[in-house]
Amino acid sequence: MLSRKRKDVSYNDEDQTLKMYLRGRPINLAVPTDVAENYDINAVGPAPSKELELEWVYGYRGRDCRSNLYVLPTGELVYFVAAVVVLHNVEENTQRHYIGHTDDIKSLALHPNNVLIATGQCAGHDKSTASPHVRIWDSETLETKMILEDSFINSVCCLSFSKTDDGALLVAVDDSNDHVISVWNWEKKDKITESRCSTETIVAAEFHPIDENVIVTCGKSHVGFWKFENNSLSKKMGIFGKHEKPKFINCLAFLASGQVVTGDSNGNLAVWGAGTNTIANFLTNVHDGSIFCINVLKNENIVTGGGKDACLKYFDSNMEKTDEEQQIEGNFGGIRMIAEANDSNLFIGTTKNCILQGSNDFKPLVIGHSDELWALATNPKSDQFVTAAQDKHLRVWSSATKEMVLGKDLEDQAQSAAYNPESTEIAVGCVTGKWLVLNADNLEVIAEFTDGDEPIQVIQYAPNGNLVAIGSRDNFVYIYERTEDSTYNKLGKCVGHSSYITHIDWSSDSQYIRTNSGDYELLYWNAETRKQETRSSSMRDVEWATNTCTITFNTVGIWPPEADGTDINGCNRSHNSELLASVDDFGKVNLYSYPVMQPQALYSSYGGHSSHVTNVAFVHDDSKVITTGGKDTAILQWNV
């Protein structure tokens, strides 16, 4: 159990206010009358009565990572998203999670024994506790076997175990300026040697499965054939000769003959002579645009995947093209990775962070967002929740079945979302200042409005369902009336904030709203008149239907010492008012006992996200918490 003590918070007994500072700015918080009588600022807030356990991860990282989709002998699919490695049992629809990492996972390698896995991560938010490193762990027990660290600068972008000596060696590439390649005796935690690889991007480094101590690397304007002998590395660059040298060599694979095949940004395949750095066969225009992956199947045939044309092309073991060809239908993106299942079905990871499954007709198994994700709302009457992202996709999920129930393509990037209290409508705020009202059953657009030309940061319905508050980046809160026939009429706007609106809560009687802003203000408003209630002390005993505002008396303890005001991105109170969850810029989900009215409070902290965690919500019965990641685009579902 953790706690943090702030020294810059003081209590004025005379006017019963608590003063705290965010980035040097004083914030006065009126203490409720029933609390003020016995309030002790030095008391420590109690620990939460429950814990969180990661239950499900929605999404996949195919947008900007490679070599991250494999099938284990158990039939489990292994892949990563954010700081979590997912082991997905497709038949039973269950997941296990390796959560040893502290920030973005960038690489994954499967040991020849098909049990051990190596994963590499980037530098974390706190360099002292999250340096870039490699973790080698057991996929059956999830036990960490070894950590390789203190040798990487930015992130570990490529990993591969040696094949000819039962995986005794591990090669790693650091995504630094010189893209240093290192070879490790990983069981002894011994870095044997390292060498500069290239000043340009490196996307793959693989031990040869037949030629002992040969490593092949590829990337921007680069194919390198490395020999590891006498504890040192020597390199020969691939010679393209009469063939046009591509801008990018995106992927590589090894044929049973020992030849290396590479795929490039022009859609060409190069077959490199066994044991040489010269091209033996060159196949042009195999794909329209980049080839992102090459996979040698169990029958020794070869399949390639196009990142632009989203096509699968097939070749026999001699690299003669067959007639077989498949187009990935739908809005799933290009093909990033191919993995062969134990029943010869294929799993396909896509550039829009989805995983498809099939042989001829591919169906989505994993669906993810592919751009920054902020909009989250839970259905007040069921186990469903809605997310919407800057990828212009809105999705409704079931937290019970862990599947997408409904989806809709939007015209604009989404920023915020809310259900009305009857759960019949979903409001979605966009970055353009437009906001939509959708029928929750079929996602048909009921109404569409525009308020300003800045992003709609937050939407909140009043508990009575008759009013809705729209918080914009233009510093205004727009108030609309909703009639019984789902007609929306603008009543006016609340003017007074000097920065953009970040959070809104309604009072339980639907009379008032309170708002936070980008410059750490807490203001109160009369919803009927849209006028500011300038005497905050008069609002000290108002009962609030929600607690999503991060700057309130009941959330004072969620702010860490030296907080700069942007650290905490969101919070949410459970419907039974026993717990409060907050999410921050450090990839953490924090759980508190509610109210968190002591400057020092005990809490639990949970990792899994990698970048800033943008939003958090309890499902309707408080049995689960849903969190969303910004840059990591992940949705994590936690059991309470």
Strand partners, 426: 419, 438
- The tens digit of pLDDT for each residue in 183-214 reads 999 999 999 999 998 888 999 999 999 999 99
Rounded Cα distance between 566 and 545, Å, is 24
Q: Give the residue-averaged pLDDT of 406-415.
A: 97
Are 249 and 255 in contact by the 8 Å Cβ rule? The answer is no
Q: What is the Cα gyration radius of the chain?
A: 27
In this prediction, residue 146 carries a pLDDT of 96
Question: pLDDT tens digit string along 440-468?
Answer: 999 999 999 999 999 999 999 999 999 99
Confidence band of 128 (pLDDT split at 50, 70, 90): low
CB 379 within 8 A of CB 113: no
For residue 40, the model assigns a pLDDT of 93
Average pLDDT for 92-118:
95
Domains of the chain from N-terminus onward = 10-53+370-639 (2.130.10.10)
- The vertex-636 CA angle with 626 and 94, nearest 5°, equals 115
Residue 564 has a pLDDT of: 77
Max CA pair span of the chain: 87
What's the confidence (pLDDT) of residue 8?
83
Q: Are 114 and 128 in contact (CB under 8 A)?
A: no
Whole-angstrom distance, CA of residue 140 vs CA of residue 73: 11
Strand partners, 404: 397
Q: Is the pLDDT of residue 359 over 70?
A: yes
pLDDT at position 610 is 87
Q: What is the pLDDT of residues 27-54, one digit of tens each?
A: 999 999 999 989 999 999 999 999 999 9
Average pLDDT, the chain: 94
What is the C-alpha separation between 627 and 625, in angstroms, rounded? 7
Which residues neighbour 285 within 8 Å (Cβ) at sequence distance 6 or greater?
Answer: 266, 267, 268
Q: What is the DSSP letter of 4?
A: -
State pTM to two decimals.
Answer: 0.95
What burial class does residue 382 get, using C-beta atoms within 10 Å of its C-beta: 0-12 exposed, 13-18 middle, 19+ buried? middle
In this prediction, residue 126 carries a pLDDT of 63
Separation between Cα atoms, residue 599 and residue 613, nearest integer Å:
22
Beta bridge partners of 202: 219
Residue 566 class from Cβ within 10 Å (0-12 exposed, 13-18 middle, 19+ buried)?
A: middle
| Exposure class string for 63-74: b at 16+ Cβ within 10 A, else e | bebbbbbbbbee
- Edge-to-edge strand list for the sheet holding 346-350: 335-340, 346-350, 355-358, 363-366
Residue 356 has pLDDT above 90, yes or no: yes
